[in-house]
Amino acid sequence: MNKEQTSRREFLTKSAAAFSFSIVPRHVLGGPGHTPPSEKLTKAIIGVGGMGKNHFRYEGTKCVAVCDVDEARLKTAVKRGGSGCRGYRDFRELLEQPDIDIVHIPTPPHWHALISIAAAEAGKDIWCEKPMARTIAESRNVAETVRRNGSIFRLNTWFRFKSKFYSSGTTAFPLKKLVESGILGWPLKVTIGGKQGFTWKHGHRGKPNLPPQTVPAGLDYDMWLGPAPYRPYNGGRVHYRFRGYWDYDGGGIGDMGQHYLDPIQYILNKDDTSPVEIEADAPPQHPFVVGTWRKIWMRYADGCELLLDGVGNIDRPLLEGPNGKVWRGFRSDIPNLVRKLDAFPDPEPQVTNFTEAVKTRTQFALNADNGHRSCTLVNLAKIAIRLGRKLRFDPVKQEFIDDPVANDLVNEPMRAPWTLNGEPV
Amino acid sequence: MDPKRRTRLMSKQRPFSCLLLFSVAAFMSRPVYAETKAAPKPDKAVQQEAQEINTLVSSLPAKSFKERQKLYDQIIRLGTAGLDALCGQLVKPGTGDDTSARLALRGLSYYVMRPGAPAAERELYVQSLHKSLKTGPDINVKAFICRELQLTGRAESVAPLSEILTVPDLTEPSAMSLLAISKHAAKAEVTKAMRAAYSKLTGEQASQQVTLIRSLAALRDRESLEAFNHAAASDNTNLRRMGLYALANLGDPSSEASLLEAAGSKMISESQRVTSWLWLYARRLKEEGSTDKAAELCRKVFETRTGPADGHVQSSALHSLYEVLGDGAIDDLLASLENKSVYVQAASAKLLMKIKSESVALKLATRLKNEDPKSRKAALEIIAARGDASVADTVKELLNDKEPAIRLQAIKTYSEVAKEHSLDALLDFVQKGSPDEQKAARDALIRLPGEAVSKQVAEKLKTASTAAGKVTIIETLQARNARKQVSELLPLASDKDSKVRGAALKALKVLASPKHVSALLKLLGDTSPEDLDAVIAAIASAGSTAGQDERLAPILEALAVPDSKARLPLLKVLSRIGGKEAIVPVLEEIKNKDEEIQDAAIRALTEWPDDSAVEPLLKLATTSENLIHKVLALRGAMRVITAADIPAETKTRHVRTAFAAAERIEDKKMILGTVGSIRHSHSLKFAAGLVSQPELRAEAINAVIRIACPQGGNDTGLLDKTAYDVLKGLVETVADENAKEKIQAHLSSFPQGDFANLAWNKPVRSAPRHQGRNVPKLAVDGIANQSSVWFGDGSPAWFEVDLQEAVKIDTAHVYFYYSDGRYYQYAIEVSTDQKTWKKVVDRSGTTELCTARGHPHRFDPIEARWVKLHIYKNSANPAVHVMEIKVYAEGTAPKTLTKFKPNQELRKPGKPPAAARKAAAEPKGKVVNPSITPYALHKKDENGKVTSGIPEEEFQTLFDGKTLKGWQGSLNGYFAEDGILVCKGGRLFTEKEYSDFVFRFEFKLPPGGNNGLGIRATLQGNAAYAGMELQILENTAEKYAKLHPYQFHGSVYGVVPARRGFLKKPGEWNSQEVIAMGHHVKVILNGEVITDVFLDKVQPMDGKAHPGLKNRKGYVGFLGHGDRIEFRNIRIRDYAMSPPIPKGPQHNVAPPGYTALFNGKDLNGWKGLVGDPKKRAAMTPEQLSDAQKKADEIMRKGWSIEDGVLVFGGKGQSLCTAKDYADFDLYVDWKIHESGDSGIYLRGSPQVQIWDPKQHKKGSGGLYNNSKNPRHPALIADNPIGEWNTFYIRMVGENVTVYLNGKLAVDDVPLENYWDRKIPIYRSNQIELQNHGNKLYFRNIYLRELPH
C-alpha cells in the first residue's frame, strides 16, 4: 500500500475535521522532494453506462478511475475521464486502489448494496444512485456497514435539500417548516401524483418470455447479474432496460420512488421509521417482469398517510392536515400562510455540501440511515404491487407481520458467491 | 418431433403414477376436492381439464383482485389434473410463449399462501410442482419451479429439492428454496440434505460447493465445521471466502486464527471482506457467552490495525467493541477521542453521544479541564449532543475559557445542557460578547424551548445595559414569535437609542395585535420623523389577519381630537388600511378648511389600496378648482382604477369620466398612458376615438397598440371584431414604422375578412366535453383545419354556440374532420331562449363524405341567439371531431359560400405540374411493386400470361346478365344491360359472404373512371378500412397525377401499391383475376401480376388503421364512386375451408374437388426420401435420380399396404409424395401405438406433430419444430391410442391451420423453415409421412391444390 497517498487522505480529512484547530500549512508537506497533496478529493465511478455518464460532472472531485462490466462502455468512459483516469473491469480491484477517496455507484440497483458495502469496508466514502437498494434487508445492511466503518454516504437524489421538490413547485424546506410549525395539525396526508406535479415513469415495463441470446463479446454477463438470480441473457434485460425486471429494480417506482418519497419522509419527520400499512392497486404482476400500477397507499403508526397516484386523476393537495392544506406551488387554503410561517423558527440546517461532509467527517443531509428508511418505502411499494394485497409492516423489526410470503421479499437471497454481512441468507 | 433429438427422447418417462393422487386426496377435508378422490381418470377427462385450464389461464391477468382470486380458486378446484396441465405448459425459454402459465403459477403460489388458506390447497399445489420438478422440460423451467417452492414449500418439499441439489445449474435455485423452507420447522432435514449434497461434490464443482457452503453457513450448521475449515483453506477464491464467511457466522472459537490471518491477507479485497466478518464473528462469540474473547478480538484489531489507511477498520473495531461490551467500552471510547485518526475520533465521539450512561457525562466533564483545547472542544461537542444536565456547571466554567473557539462551543453546549438556566449567561454574551459570541448566544436563545423562556428573555430588557444587547433581545423575541411580550416591547418603541427603536418597531410590526393599536397610536404624536413610517406600518399591520374593525375603532377615536395636526399621521394610517369604512373620515377631512390637513387627506385618498376611492377621486377631479388637487385626484383615480378588481367596462367608464375632467393636455396624455393596461374592447374604443385628435394622436396610437396587440409571453392580444376594425382602420395612416409593424403583425393573426362569422370566438358549450387539449373553443377559433379541432369523446354529442345577441341568420357552415373518408350524421337547431329549438338543418341520414371544404348549409332567415349542432354518428369511430362551425347573419355569408352548392363535393384540380404528369405516364411495366417478393409463385398459360390456372367450369357465375339477382346493396345504382353490369354509383355486394376465393371479371372504364372491388367487406362502414378495397381506377387521367402510390388501379387501397401500366385504354375491356386465399391477395390484370401480397407481412402505407385486413370473410362487391363503369363475366370459385372430417363414400375415395394421394392399393404417386430439401437442391439431376432409385427401394421395404391401409413397419425412411405442392388442403387419417411418434412434413419440412399425448402432455397437430412461433396445439384432441385420427390441414403461404378430429388445433400459424431458419418455408415442396422408428398407419390421404 502506498503510504504517501493514504496519508494524504488522512491529511485532507484532518485539515478540516471537526476536532482539529491547526490547519497544517501546505508548504510544510509540500517541501522539496515531496509531492504536495492535492486538495481536491478523488473519485471513482463504478458503472459508467446510462446514469454513470452524469457522475463525471459532479463538482469538487477529480475522477481517477472508472469501472464497468461492458468493455465498450469502459473504453468510452476512460476517455471521458481524461488524463490519469484508469479503467477496471472488477469493482473489487478498483476498491483496492488507495488513491480513491469517494466511490460513485451508478450501477443498476441490484448492485448498489454489495458495492456500497464493499466500498465502506475499503474505507471509501460513497455517492450512490437511487434507489439505495433492491430490498429492505440490503439497504439496512448498507446502513449498518456504513455506520460501522464511519464512511460518509450520500444518495444521488437532491430534493430533500435542494431544487424544487420535483414539479410540486416548492422545495422541501418550507413544507418541513410548515409541518414543524404545527399549523396544519396532525396527522397529515400526502398525495403525490400527476395532479400534484409528479410523474411516474410507467414506461419501465419489461417483457415476459425473453428468448435466450448469445452474450455479446465484451460484456461480463455473470458479473452484470452479480447477486441477481441467473437468467439466460437477452439484450432486453440489461443496459437501460433493467428497470423492467424485479430482479434488478422495480419499474417507475424503482426509478422515481426515492426521488419523491425521500423528501416526504424528511418533511413528515419519519427518518427513523417506516409505514405500518401498505396497499397497492395494481394489475397482477408477472413473476419476473415489472408491470404497471395505479395507486399505492401507506399509513404510518401515528396516522399519517401517503398516497402515490400512478394514474394522475387524484386531485388532492400535496399536503393536508386537519387545519389546512397546501397544494402544489405552496398554495394554501390558509390565508397569509407564508407570513404566518415567518414567525416560526427554521428547521435544523442540513449538511448539503458533500465534499465538505467528507472533509469534516459529518453526516450528509441524505445519508445511509435516512436513505435506508426512504428506500424502504420504495421496496414496500414494490412488494405491495407484487402481492396485490394489503400488508402490515413492523417498522422496528423491519419485517411484515404474520406474512411469510411478503417476508420472503424483504430479503431476496443473493446468488452465491455474493452475500450480505451476517444477515440470514 | 425434431428428428435430430429422436433417440434421446425415445427413452420416455412413464405416465405419472396415480398413487400420488391418492395420497394427496387423503389430506383433503373439503368436499370441493371430492372429484380428485376418484381413482385414475380416463384420458378424456384429463384432456377436458387441460382445456379448462387453458380457458381459465387465458382470462389472466384478471381485471380485479376479486376476479383473480376467483380464477385461482377455480384452477385449484380442477385438482391435480388441472395443475399438472398448467405446469405442463412451461417451456424452455425461447421455444414458445409460456408467459400466462408462469403468471398463473406465481399467482397460485401467492394464492395458496394467502392468510387463512386451507392447508390442503397448498399441499395439492405443491405436489404438482414436485412432479414438474421431475419432468420439467428444461433446467430453466425447473429453476422456476424451485422459486415457486421457495414460496410455498414446507417439509414435504425437502426430499424432491434435495434430489436436484447437485445438478449443475439447479444447485443455486434448489438451495435457495431449501433455505427458505428451513425457516419453517424443517431446519434439521434441510441441513442434512445440504450436508449430504456437499459430500457428493468434488473440487471440480467449486461453484456448486460455494453455494452449498453459503447455505450451510446460513444454517449455522456446527457439524459442517470441518467442511467450512476445508473450504476456508481452498485455493479457489470464492470457495475460500465463503468458507471464511461460514466460519465467522458459526462463531466457533477455533476459527479465530484462520479469520485473523485472512483479515491480514495480502489480497486487499479479501482482507477487507474478512475484516468485516470479524465483527460478525465477535457478535457470534458474544451470543455464545464468550464476551471477553469477543472484546479481546476487537481490542486486538484496534491496536494492531493502525496503518494510515486503517481508520475505518479501527472505527468498526470500536463499534464492535461497544456492541460486545456496551457501557464497558466507555473507557476505550474516551481514550480514542485523542486517536490520531480522524475516523477513530469521529467514531468514538458518535458512540459516546449515543450511550445513555451517566458515567459518560462525568468522565467527559473531567476532560473539560484538560490542557489540550482540542480535547476540551471534543468533550463539549459530545456533551451538547447528549444534553447532560448534570455537568452544566462544569460546562459553564468554559464560557470564560481563554480559547475563543472553546467559548463559542461552550455557549452552544451550555444552552443545550442548562436550558432555561443558561439565560443569564447567554444574555451576558448578547450584551458583552464578541460579534461571534453574540450570534452564537442569540442562536441559542432562539432555540431554547418553552414559553417561559420568552418571558424571561423579555424580563432582561429591563436590566439590559447596552443598546446592542437590547436589540439582540428584541430580535430574539421576534424570532421566538413572543406575542405575549408585546407590552414589554412597546416602551422600547420610544427608546432614546434609534437602533433599539427600529428593532422594536420591526418586532411590533410582526407581533402586535389589534389590542395594541391604541398604544401604538400614542407613539404617533411624539415619534421622530424618521420613525414615523415604521410606526404607521406597525399600526396598519397589527393583527391584519383579524379583520379591520378592531383596528379602526381606536383610530377613529383618535381622529376625534381637536388638534388637527395630530390627525395628519392618522390619515396616512387609514390610507394603509383602506376599505369603505376607513374612507369616511378621510372624505370628511377633505372638506377641512386647514389646507395642510386637506392636502394630507387628498394624498391619503390617492394612495388608497382599493377601489372604494375611485368615485371620491373622480368627483374631486371634476369639481375641485384647485389645480394641484385636481391633478393629484386624476393620478390617484387612474392608479386605483387600473389596479382595482372590477370589470373592464366599469373601468373604461371611470376612465371616460376622468378624461372628461382633465383639462390640461398633460393630464389627458397621462390618462392615455395609463389606459393601456385595461385590455378590453371598451378601452380600445376609447383610445381609438382619440386618434383623430392631433395633439393626442401619438399617445392614443400607443394606447391602442398596448391594448390590442400581444404584449409578449403567452399574450394573444385582443382578437375580436372591434380590435380588427380599429387596427385595420389605423394601419394605413400610422406613420411610425415601429407601430405600423406591430399592428400589421397582429392583424395577420386574425381570420382575415371572415368577421361576418357570428360564431367566431363566442362562448360555447358541449357534451361530452372534450378529450385532451382539444377543447370546444377550437371549433369557433376561426381556424378550420384538422389541427384545431374540438374532440368530443363519444357520440351522440352536441355543441352549442351562444351568439350573445339574437340575430337573423341564414347560413351555417360545419367542418368535420375528414381525411380518412368518413361521414357524419347531424342536425342543426337554433333558439332564441335556449328552450324552444327549431331545426334548420337535418342531415341525420346522410352518408356524404366529409371534406376540407366542410358542409355549408343555407336556410330561410331565422332569428337565433343559440345555434346547436347535434351529432348522431361518425362513421369512422365513436368520437366526434368538429374543426369549425361558422354562422352568418342574413345576407352576410361570403360570396364563395352562396355560389357553393350545399352538400356537394366540388373538385377543381388545377393543371398538375410537369413532373407529376410525367410520373402518371410511366412506361408499361417499369414500376416495381415492392410487395412482390421472391416468395411469389405464378402459373402461366400457353401464351405466357399469368393465371390462377383454374378451369372455367369450376367457376360459379355471379351475374346472370339480365338481373341483379344474387346481389344486394345499392340496387338502384346498378343495372343490367345486354349481359353487362353497369354502375352509376353506390355499392353492390354479393348476397353471400366469401372467405377464400378466386374472383374473375371483366371491366371497362371511362377516362378517369373510379370504382373499387371490395373483398371481405362489411355491408356497413367504409369498405377500404372495414374490409379491403382493390382499386378500380382509370388512373392515367390528368386529375390523378398526384395520387399516392397506394391509390392506383389494383392497389389494396391505403395498404399496398400495385404495379402500374397494364390497364388497357379507356373504353376497352380489361380482364382481371383476384386470388384471395388466407393472407394471400393476388391481382392479375390482363395476364400480369400487379399485386401479390401476404397481408400479415405488410403495414398499411397510409398509416391508418385497417382492421378489415384481418377479416377472414366478407362480401365481394363493387364500390361505385358515381362514374359509369361496366362489368361483365363476373364469376367466382369458392375455396372456403372444407369440413374438418371428409365425407367420402368409402375409404381412400376422395371427396369432390380432392385427389386421393393414396389409392389404397399400391404406392403409386409416392417416392422414397432423399436427403432434405437443401441437399436435394444441391444435387445434379443425375445424382438426384440415382439417389431416388435407392430411396425408392428402401421405401418399398418399409412401407406396405394392408387392407387399404398404408402401414409403416418401423424401419426405413419417410414416405414422400411424388409431386411438390405449394398451397393446399390436405386430409390424412393416421393411427399410432402407445409412445408412437410421427408427423406430416409439409413442403419437405417438419412438421405437423403426431405422437402419444399421454407421454408428452401435449396433443398431436402442433407445429413441433417451430422456435419463434407457437409449437404446440391449442388443445389435446387425440383419440385414444389405437384409434384412427383425422387431420385436416390447410397451408397457404407460410401459414398452417390444422384440425384434429374436427377440433381446431392450430389456427393460422407460420411453419418455420427447419432446414434454414433464416428464410421462410419453401414455397413448394413434397409432403412426407415421417418415419420415427415405430409402427404407423395411414389412409384416406386426400389433397386439393389451392390457387396461388
pLDDT band of residue B919 (cuts 50, 70, 90) is: very low
- B930 preceded by a cis bond (ω within 30 of 0): no
Q: Please give the pLDDT value at position B1326.
A: 93
Which string of DSSP letters, residue by residue, matches A385-401?
HHH-S-EEEETTTTEES
Place of cell 458518535: B350
Gap from B557 CA to chain A (nearest CA, Å): 29
Q: Say if CB B1123 and CB B1010 are below 8 A apart.
A: yes
**Alpha carbon of B1111 to those of B1002, B1019, B1028, B1080, B1096: distances in Å?**
25, 13, 9, 12, 11
Whole-number CA gyration radius for chain A: 22
Q: Tell whether the torsion through CA atoms of B397, B398, B402 and B407 is positive or negative.
A: negative
Q: Please give the pLDDT value at position B898.
A: 61
pLDDT band of residue B50 (cuts 50, 70, 90) is: confident
B855 touching A, CB under 8 A? no
Gap from B418 CA to chain A (nearest CA, Å): 20
Least-confidence region, from B601-605, B917-921, B1246-1250: B917-921
Question: Residue B322 — φ and ψ, nearest 5°?
Answer: -65, -40
Q: Please report, rounded to a whole number, the percentage of residues in chain B having pLDDT higher than 70.
A: 93
Q: Please give the pLDDT value at position B527.
A: 74
**Alpha carbon of B225 to those of B221, B243, B259, B265, B278: distances in Å?**
7, 9, 14, 22, 17
Tell me which residue in B241, B307, B346 faces A417 most closely, judged by beta carbons: B241
Q: Using CB atoms and an 8 Å cut-off, which of residues 127-146 of chain B contact chain A?
A: 140, 143-144
B116 touching A, CB under 8 A? no
**Alpha carbon of B885 to those of B755, B807, B864: distances in Å?**
13, 16, 15
Average pLDDT for residues B194-199, to the nearest whole number?
94
Provide the mean pLDDT of chain B: 85
State which residue of chain B sits closest to A125, comparing Cα positions: B312
Q: Please give the pLDDT value at position B1241.
A: 94
Asked if B114's CB is within 8 angstroms of A425's CB, the reply is no
Distance between CA atoms of B965 and B959, rounded to whole angstroms? 7
Residue scoring higher pLDDT (B295 or B560): B295
Tell me which residue in B103, B169, B316 faces A286 most closely, judged by beta carbons: B103
A118 touching B, CB under 8 A? yes
Distance between CA atoms of B762 and B781, rounded to whole angstroms? 9
Q: Please give the pLDDT value at position B228.
A: 95
Most B CBs within 10 A among A147, A223, A348, A361, hence the mutation to make, goes to: A361
Residue B135 CB partners (closer than 8 Å, separation 6+): B13, B16
8-state DSSP, B223: G
B67 touching A, CB under 8 A? no
Q: Please give the pLDDT value at position A75.
A: 92
Q: Please give the pLDDT value at position B492.
A: 87
Three-state SS string across A92-157, please?
A: HHHHCCCCCCEEEECCCHHHHHHHHHHHHHCCCEEEECCCCCCCHHHHHHHHHHHHHHCCCEEECC
Asked if B249's CB is within 8 angstroms of A92's CB, the reply is no
Angle made by CA atoms B844, B848, B852, in degrees to the nearest 5: 115
Q: Please give the pLDDT value at position B753.
A: 53
Residue B685: all three cell numbers together: 374604443
Residue A212 CB partners (closer than 8 Å, separation 6+): A232, A233, A234, B93, B94
A21 touching B, CB under 8 A? yes
Least-confidence region, from B602-606, B1144-1148, B1216-1220: B1144-1148
Q: Say if CB B956 and CB B1134 are below 8 A apart.
A: yes
pLDDT band of residue B961 (cuts 50, 70, 90) is: confident
Q: What b-and-e string marks burial along B1294-1315, b requiring 16 or more CB atoms within 10 Å of the CB? A: bbbbbbbbebbbbebbbbbbbb
Residue A221 CB partners (closer than 8 Å, separation 6+): A69, A215, A233, A238
Residue scoring higher pLDDT (B1021 or B749): B1021
B487-527 pLDDT, tens digit each: 888 888 888 888 898 899 888 888 888 788 888 888 877 77
Tell me which residue in A3, A150, A404 faces B113 most closely, judged by beta carbons: A404
> How many contacts does A have with B, using Cβ atoms within 8 A?
201
Least-confidence region, from A61-75, A289-303, B261-275, B583-597: B583-597
Asked if A425's CB is within 8 angstroms of B93's CB, the reply is no
Q: Using CB atoms and an 8 Å cut-off, which of residues 508-527 of chain B contact chain A?
A: 510-511
Distance between CA atoms of B13 and B3, rounded to whole angstroms? 19
Asked if B320's CB is within 8 angstroms of A408's CB, the reply is no
Distance between CA atoms of B510 and B543, rounded to whole angstroms? 8
Which string of DSSP letters, residue by residue, matches B1126-1170?
EEEEEEEEE-PPPPSS---SSTT-PPTT-EES--SSS-TTEEE--
Asked if B210's CB is within 8 angstroms of A283's CB, the reply is no
B203 touching A, CB under 8 A? no
> In chain A, which residues have their Cβ closer than 8 Å to the Cβ of B211?
416
Q: Please give the pLDDT value at position B451.
A: 75
pLDDT band of residue B45 (cuts 50, 70, 90) is: low
State which residue of chain B sits closest to A20, comparing Cα positions: B374
State which residue of chain B sits closest to A402, comparing Cα positions: B115
8-state DSSP, B480: T
Q: Please report, rounded to a whole number, the percentage of residues in chain B having pLDDT higher than 90.
A: 37
Residue B815: all three cell numbers together: 367542418
B56-90 pLDDT, tens digit each: 887 777 777 788 888 999 999 888 888 998 998 89
Average pLDDT for residues B703-714, to the nearest whole number?
86
Tell me which residue in B107, B272, B311 faces A284 most closely, judged by beta carbons: B107
Distance between CA atoms of B235 and B271, rounded to whole angstroms? 16
Could you tell me where the DSSP H helices lie in B113-255?
119-135, 139-152, 158-163, 171-182, 187-200, 206-219, 225-232, 237-250
Distance between CA atoms of B1134 and B992, rounded to whole angstroms? 11
Residue B379: all three cell numbers together: 468533550
Half-sphere exposure of B238 (CA within 13 A, CB side): 16
B370 touching A, CB under 8 A? no
Asked if A6's CB is within 8 angstroms of B308's CB, the reply is yes
Tell me which residue in B268, B272, B343 faces A150 most closely, judged by beta carbons: B343
**Element at A61 (helix H, strand E):** strand A61-67
Least-confidence region, from B220-224, B449-453, B1058-1062, B1242-1246: B449-453
B763-811 pLDDT, tens digit each: 898 888 777 778 888 898 877 777 788 988 777 889 999 988 888 998 8
Tell me which residue in B175, B183, B275 faces A121 most closely, judged by beta carbons: B275
B315 touching A, CB under 8 A? yes
Angle between helices B99-112 and B43-58 (to 10 degrees): 90
Asked if A422's CB is within 8 angstroms of B268's CB, the reply is no
Q: Say if CB B771 and CB B791 are below 8 A apart.
A: yes
Residue B619 CB partners (closer than 8 Å, separation 6+): none
Q: Please give the pLDDT value at position B702.
A: 92
Residue A23 CB partners (closer than 8 Å, separation 6+): A15, A16
Most A CBs within 10 A among B312, B371, B451, B476, hence the mutation to make, goes to: B312
Encoded amino acid at B994, one letter: Y
Residue of B1213, B1212, B1240, B1208 lying closest to B1224 (CA atoms):
B1240
State which residue of chain B sits closest to A342, comparing Cα positions: B479
Angle between helices B79-88 and B119-135 (to 10 degrees): 40
Q: Please give the pLDDT value at position A14.
A: 47
Distance between CA atoms of B1152 and B818, rounded to whole angstroms? 50
Average pLDDT for residues B1212-1216, to the nearest whole number?
91
Gap from A241 CA to chain B (nearest CA, Å): 19
Counting DSSP H helices and E strands in chain B, the numbers are 51, 35
**Alpha carbon of B855 to those of B48, B247, B458: distances in Å?**
59, 88, 82
Residue B875: all three cell numbers together: 362513421
Most A CBs within 10 A among B273, B342, B485, B513, hence the mutation to make, goes to: B342
Three-state SS string across A119-133, please?
A: HHHCCCEEEECCCCC
Phi-psi region of B177 (alpha: psi -120 to 50; beta: other; left: phi over 0): alpha
Tell me which residue in B172, B280, B313 faces A416 most closely, judged by beta carbons: B172
Q: Which residues does chain A have with pLDDT short of 70?
A: 1-39, 343, 423-425
Asked if B68's CB is within 8 angstroms of A284's CB, the reply is yes
Distance between CA atoms of B79 and B53, rounded to whole angstroms? 11
- pTM score over 0.80: no
Encoded amino acid at B709, one letter: C
Q: Using CB atoms and an 8 Å cut-off, which of residues 1120-1139 of chain B contact chain A?
A: none
B113 touching A, CB under 8 A? yes
B685-705 pLDDT, tens digit each: 999 999 999 999 999 999 999
Gap from A247 CA to chain B (nearest CA, Å): 13
Q: Please give the pLDDT value at position B210.
A: 94
Which string of DSSP letters, residue by residue, matches B239-283?
HHHHHHHHHHHHT-GGGHHHHHHHHT-SSHHHHHHHHHHHHHHHH
Residue B1235, pLDDT above cutoff 60: yes
Q: Please give the pLDDT value at position B332.
A: 92
Of the ranges A152-156, B365-369, B1040-1044, the best mean pLDDT one: A152-156
Q: Please give the pLDDT value at position B315.
A: 92
Q: What b-and-e string marks burial along B1260-1292, b requiring 16 or more CB atoms within 10 Å of the CB? A: bbbbbbbeebbbbbbbbbbeebeeebbbbbbbb
Half-sphere exposure of B253 (CA within 13 A, CB side): 10
Average pLDDT for residues B982-1001, to the nearest whole number?
92
Distance between CA atoms of A160 and A148, rounded to whole angstroms? 24
Residue of B799, B750, B803 lying closest to B776 (CA atoms):
B799
Could you tell me where the DSSP H helices lie in B433-548?
435-447, 451-463, 467-479, 486-489, 498-511, 517-526, 529-541
Asked if B373's CB is within 8 angstroms of A416's CB, the reply is no
Q: Please give the pLDDT value at position A91.
A: 95
A303 touching B, CB under 8 A? no
Place of cell 469502459: A74
Residue A121 CB partners (closer than 8 Å, separation 6+): A145, A149, B272, B273, B275, B276, B312
B856-884 pLDDT, tens digit each: 888 888 999 999 999 988 887 778 899 99
Least-confidence region, from B538-542, B668-672, B909-913, B1212-1216: B909-913
**Element at B1028 (helix H, strand E):** strand B1028-1033
> In chain A, which residues have their Cβ closer than 8 Å to the Cβ of B145?
none
Q: Please give the pLDDT value at position A206.
A: 87
Distance between CA atoms of A231 and B93, rounded to whole angstroms? 10
Residue of A168, A211, A333, A141 lying closest to B94 (CA atoms):
A211
ipTM of the complex: 0.89
Asked if A7's CB is within 8 angstroms of B114's CB, the reply is no
A361 touching B, CB under 8 A? yes
